[in-house]
């Protein structure tokens, strides 16, 4: 079996910081803790609207990180110029819509083929290897190779939604995925198909000479399914790790504040 690289996406720490416009939680502390705890890579997304990670964060993270930094970005020229200047270890091109909560689907490598090919060339001129965040289809693997990428990151969002609708309390929450409120046998069959698509895409990409990563919506319950696909050599995971850290750390955080706010009567 190939070794697996864990890319820890720390954007979500910056989401919390930006909600209060303070430097708490400090993104560089998150970088330090993630690296000390075994992250093989740090993944961050410099969004056009700068809703979480800021330009200065990218600069500091690249200069201080002990592990490679995978910088996600759109194919917007202004962003690409910043990325070329900042020189991360790799750039991952992702689709971006201002109104979305998070990256909703893979890059449309067909409609935007010329723009993507140009973006890859631009990044290559600055010696930055490029990965494309794409949906798991054979056609997308072939097109990614043709456009000049070194790597693909398979979008696992659909797989994760199916998995979570079947195996978690998601359907009974406010964030139930409406279009997946289906009978269990239907969800199971779609989950099987989505896993097949991921596996077949990974095998095909590998044959084409592309490295294969995967990410989006992966968590402590569903990640084992990705571990079974040998061709996938990197996973980028954010939300579930930061969400888990709230509960692994909340007890100590409350205890420490209780200690500071206890008076001897």
Catalytic center residues: 45, 72, 216
Q: How far is the CB of 236 from ligand PXP (least distance, A)?
A: 4
Which residue, among 239, 168, 157, 164, has the nearest Cα to 198 in the 3D structure?
A: 157
Q: Which of 215, 223, 231, 233 binds ligand PXP (CB under 6 A)?
A: 215
Q: Which of 54, 137, 239, 245 binds ligand PXP (CB under 6 A)?
A: 239
Q: Which of 65, 103, 161, 201 binds ligand PXP (CB under 6 A)?
A: 103
Asked whether 36 and 44 are in contact (CB, 8 A), the reply is no
Q: Which of 41, 201, 222, 236 binds ligand PXP (CB under 6 A)?
A: 236
Query: Taking CB under 6 A as the rule, which mask of x and - marks residues 134-173 in contact with ligand PXP?
Result: -------------------x--------------------
Q: How far is the CB of 43 from ligand PXP (least distance, A)?
A: 6
Cα separations in angstroms, 143 against 30, 96, 136: 36, 19, 12
Which 60-99 positions form the footprint of ligand PXP (CB under 6 A)? Answer: 72, 92, 94
Which parts of the chain fold into alpha helices (H)? 11-20, 27-36, 55-64, 77-86, 113-125, 138-147, 157-167, 184-207, 223-227, 239-260
User: Which positions ≥6 away from 217 have C-beta within 8 Å?
Assistant: 156, 157, 159, 160, 161, 164, 239
- The helix (H) or strand (E) run that includes residue 53 is none
Per CB under 6 A, 218 contacts ligand PXP: yes
Q: How far is the CB of 260 from ligand PXP (least distance, A)?
A: 33
Collapsing DSSP to helix, strand or coil, 76 comes out as coil
Q: How far is the CB of 147 from ligand PXP (least distance, A)?
A: 17
Cα separations in angstroms, 141 against 66, 148, 212: 31, 11, 10
- The helix (H) or strand (E) run that includes residue 25 is none
Window of 18-26, 113-121, 141-149, 238-246 that interacts with ligand PXP by CB under 6 A: 238-246
Q: How far is the CB of 189 from ligand PXP (least distance, A)?
A: 24
Window of 47-55, 82-90, 215-223, 224-232 that interacts with ligand PXP by CB under 6 A: 215-223
Considering beta carbons, is residue 167 or 189 the nearer one to ligand PXP? Answer: 167
Window of 60-68, 161-169, 216-224, 249-257 that interacts with ligand PXP by CB under 6 A: 216-224
Q: Which of 14, 31, 41, 45 binds ligand PXP (CB under 6 A)?
A: 45
Tokens of 260: 């500071």
Tokens of 154: 């398979």
Asked whether 153 and 133 are in contact (CB, 8 A), the reply is yes
Question: Which residues contribute to the site for ligand PXP (CB under 6 A)?
Answer: 9, 11, 45, 72, 92, 94, 102-103, 133, 153, 215-218, 236-240
């Amino acid at each position: 079996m190939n070794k697996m690289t864990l890319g820890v996406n720390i954007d979500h720490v910056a989401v919390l910081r930006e909600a209060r416009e303070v430097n708490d939680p400090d993104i560089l502390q998150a970088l330090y803790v993630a690296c000390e705890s075994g992250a093989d890579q740090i993944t961050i997304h410099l969004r056009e609207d700068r809703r979480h990670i800021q330009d200065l964060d990218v600069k500091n993270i690249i200069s201080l990180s002990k592990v490679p930094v995978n910088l996600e970005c759109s194919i917007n020229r202004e962003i690409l110029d910043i990325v070329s200047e900042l020189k991360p270890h790799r750039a991952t091109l992702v689709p971006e819509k201002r109104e979305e909560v998070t990256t909703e689907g893979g890059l449309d490598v067909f409609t935007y083929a010329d723009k993507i090919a140009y973006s890859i060339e631009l990044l290559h001129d600055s010696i930055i290897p490029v990965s494309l965040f794409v949906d798991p289809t054979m056609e997308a693997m072939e097109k990614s190779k043709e456009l000049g990428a070194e790597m693909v990151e398979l979008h696992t969002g659909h797989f994760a939604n199916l998995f979570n609708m079947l195996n978690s309390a998601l359907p009974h929450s406010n964030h139930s995925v409406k279009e997946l409120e289906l009978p269990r046998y239907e969800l199971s069959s779609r989950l099987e198909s989505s896993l097949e698509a991921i596996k077949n895409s990974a095998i095909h990409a590998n044959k084409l000479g592309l490295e294969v990563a995967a990410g989006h919506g992966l968590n402590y319950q569903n990640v084992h399914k990705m571990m079974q696909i040998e061709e996938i050599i990197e996973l980028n995971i954010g939300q579930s790790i930061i969400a888990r850290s709230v509960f692994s750390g909340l007890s100590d955080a409350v205890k420490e504040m209780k200690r500071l706010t206890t008076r001897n009567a």
